[in-house]
A and B are shown apart, each in its own frame.
Chain A
Amino acid sequence: MFKPRTFTPAPPAQSLLTRADVWLLLVLIGLLALAIGAAGSAPETVRGPEISLSLSALPFYALRSVGRMALAYALSLLFTLVYGYIAAYNARAERVLIPLLDVLQSVPILSFLPVVLLSLSTILPEAVAVELTAVVLIFTSQVWNMTFAWYQSLTTIPRELREASSIFRFSRWQRFTTLEFPFGALALVWNSMMSWAGGWFFLMAAEIFTLGERDFRLPGLGAFLHTAADAGDLAAIGWGILTLVVVIVVLDQFIWRPLLAWASQFRLEMIERDDDEAQSWFYDLIRQSALAGWAGSLAGRIDRFIARHLSRHPAPDPYLSVASQRSWLGWVMLAASVVVVGWGGWVGSVLLLSVPLAQWGEIVLSVGATMLRVVTAMTIALVWTVPVGVFIGTRPRAAAILQPIVQITASIPATALFPVLVLALLAIPGGLNLAAIALMMLGTQWYILFNVIAGAAAIPQDLRFTSELLQLRGWERWRTLILPGLFPYLITGLITASGGAWNASIVAEYVVFNQQTYQTIGIGAQIAAATAAGDFAGLFAATLAMIVAVVTINRLVWRRLYRLAETKYRME
């Protein structure tokens, strides 16, 4: 019943913790330790370029931000296609790559920002390092769900279509263009849209970053908004947010909707259906233009060139994941991972041993505090998204009006609003605490809402009629019909949302505002504060604590609920 309209996170792994998982975690931690070790030699003071608050600078900033997003997205797409393809076709690689995806997507991306930034700035000119860091950060926020969606569509291609492409002797290229890419296109476009929205969230946070005496900033919309809030310039904040909304709407209308309309021709269903979501006036326009014909013939020429010269032989095997011999590449990877774990482990343990016991206590307390915040944010989000989502999902007419409004609201990255929130809430006691919860909620509630809408729309009509005939009303109706129907969708939404909320804690719990630092108790604040103070041992310990907390919660809570959703609450 799941339509590819929603985010596609990798499902939690089947077993609690496999050997592969442990090894992957170790490799990851090793890399982290090495990067932090390198970051120690970064320059002591850094001053970024001044951010102008004049309106004439806004288009330039907007362009710079979009450019960063586009570059990161291009990287994500490339990574997705290659990684997913290898995971789908090589059983040996699959056993490593897919659990790795699960681990990577549960890692707090923002905590990597300072580490990536500092280690890059030791080897690259500062301006390049900062740009690259932003791109890497956006990449890591966009890529995992896209990769998983692509892998999933490759592995679910119907057997007979695979056999047909083999019996008719398709080359790899022809199989890709005729079967694999069309089959995955729709899921890829949906996930790209989601990823792009997630990318804005992190870009807003990544364009300006203060680490103690090091002040990294990039000319862009995020930096503009932050500087405006710093200066208390409400007009500039307004213009900045307006520009952001305009950019987002323009991209949606001129890129994503047309892409979606284009991809909807690749639906697998053999039935005709009208699909409002796949309509795009701009796509209809370019389809009739000369440009479309020109692009089509160019694509045809490229296709013929590759078919003639680069990919001429029939692809070897129609089926997936044939067990293969361990290749030399496998051995190299294994050896490299041993080196990373060994060396990283040594650097890491030196760092960890230097963390005083009192600080460890603080870290544990902080994890608890952040967890409370995440739970609060999720609860508030649930309280409003479930009724609203059910309302929209069960009434097609309301959906037609509300869906676009919700989509535009959801596309405004919460981090762009955050400076405003802080400005408003800092005055009251516990204000930052409130602001932190608000940011977590604002940034992640949409995942839940969209899933609830999809889930409510997927409740079968005959079950709805039956519950009406049985005169189920009020709570009884919710308990027997709506909540069980929503359950799998709610879990999928919550997994994604809570992951995002943990991530957001790093920007939410520690704020530099008007040259003043505000912070509250939390693991995000620990990470940010350690980064600012240049306390690399503390940074490593806190990041490690967050990874362990997130992975543990995934395995202990979400994995169980996900299994329950898959077995007991599946609609067939």
Chain B
Amino acid sequence: MSSIASVGTHSVDHHGEHGHHHESFWTKYVFSQDHKMIAKQFLITGIVMAVFAMILSILFRMQLAWPDKEFPILEVFLGKWAEGGRINPEFFLALVTIHGTIMVFFVLTAGLSGTFANLLIPYQLGARDMASPFMNMLSYWFFFGACVVMISSFFIESGPASAGWTVYPPLSAVPKAISGSGLGMTLWLISMVMFIVSQVLGGTNYISTVLNMRTKGMDLWKMPLTIWALFLTAIVGLLSFPVLVSAVVLLIFDRSMGTSFYLSELVVQGQILPNEGGSPILFQHLFWFLGHPEVYIVLMPALGLTSEVISTNSRKPIFGYHAMVYSLIGITVLSFIVWGHHMFVTGMNPFLGGVFMITTLIIAVPSAVKSFNYLATLWRGNIRFTPAMLFAIGMVSFFISGGLTGLYLGNSALDINLHDTYFVVAHFHLVMGSASIFGMLCGVYHWYPKMFGRMMNEKLGYLHFWLTFVGAYFVFFPMHFMGIDGVPRRYYAFTEFPFMEKWISVNVFITWSAIIAGLGQIAFIWNFFASMRYGKVATQNPWGANTLEWTTPVKHIHGNWPGEIPTVYRWPYDYSKPGHHEDFIPQTVPFSETMSSNLPHDFEGNVEAERIQREWERANAATQPESEKE
């Protein structure tokens, strides 16, 4: 016994030393190698980028709603990009491009995975830190650099990249094509390369930590679903981001050295370009081989976070834990063989289109399994409507309503009508945009006490939820109807086309909804930053959750646990287990302490344990008074 105690104290000393010796302001807050600090860095950078991209979207929404109106204030801020108080067409394209790029990559990839993989993987697995804390730090700083470069493109003469977030050549490959194809595009490419480096560094770390650094007793089937989701997300990222590197490298050669990978027989501004024989479709193949898995990189962490939050706040075990894991694995595998559904109308062989259609529609199966399991977990649960829980339920709602339209878009024949219309915009903003951001916000509300040691204000949380939830549906739902009517996305002025003019009234409605929902985010921003200082001090386990992160002290220490890392004995979803005096049993509680609630399948076929349990039950059935029996 004494030896165990001394091990404990030794580790405390050891980690205490670490804490005091080297930590200056720079190593603690800036070039930190501590996973908790890096998670906060990712989160705050992600929030800043999200606000930035949201403002961009409000700007182009204003143009869409009031194409003929002048807003002199815009000229004050944007100068020549809004001459006479109207956004000009080049800048409009830049706005949609950068809005998409920032939201998809910087907010929902880095901001979401970066924050929660860093925070939760070591915490929920019982590790002192990541496999390589140094790589982890590099990962953040590459991301930060990428953000700076991306935003800096707003401050150059020719403006930011404007070829859409998918940067298809030739717009992206011919620097003279439009003003955004010049330096702005170059900066976009530099930023993306830095971003990919960041993702690969981070991703390898996440995978390696999950596979190598789990605490004693934490086998793969005892991992919380958050970890499963973040783990599989990292695998998808590792396999797909390098492909984008190749695509981008070839694009850079085409842009600056005059090769002809993607370019072919073009005439730009009266001049014949020297490039011959290139294939722009090649870029689309390479891009979407990343691009499609990317949407699952965005979505899966949200699925993981909400699984955890819904189970905890329903006070019920997650319904179908294994099914949840297998459907995540299914989504992971399928995500690599569906990229062609973005290219149905590129002149693809119809047979190949049919293959991609089938693989795409099969994704509905694991997605439906997950939706069903979410609903079944909620069913007759003892639900606590915390703000995190509301956002989790909101995520399920968006996942279903946005996912359904995927069935239409995934159909290669229907896609001829629907592709590149507002129907697509509605679809992916619901299923990928809103669902993922709701997953992220759910995570922020739920793990805020773990990150900052204080609670967020619930009332502001509810206000934020309802404004965002209703706002998102008001913004994106009407777009389905515009899309069915054939209104194309990315168009600058609806007044130019008679058949689109009738949609302007809808655009006004959407823009007002967007503005109000946007203002609703102030409730969140205020809540987030003010609660760091004024929030109620958090208790160690404020939600009554089972996972390991809630066994760490409220005040952060280097190495997470004072003394030995706890051992894990059970799965993370023992909520409201019959026979137990509390409605949750943390993973660290051994079965020997919960004799009254153990079930035969808990012992996974351990005969000795089953025998002990039976003996205990026999002994207790004899002595227990009648009133305490179940």
Question: Are the chains A and B members of one assembly?
Answer: no
Q: Taking beta carbons and an 8 Å cutoff, which residues of B are in contact with A? A: none
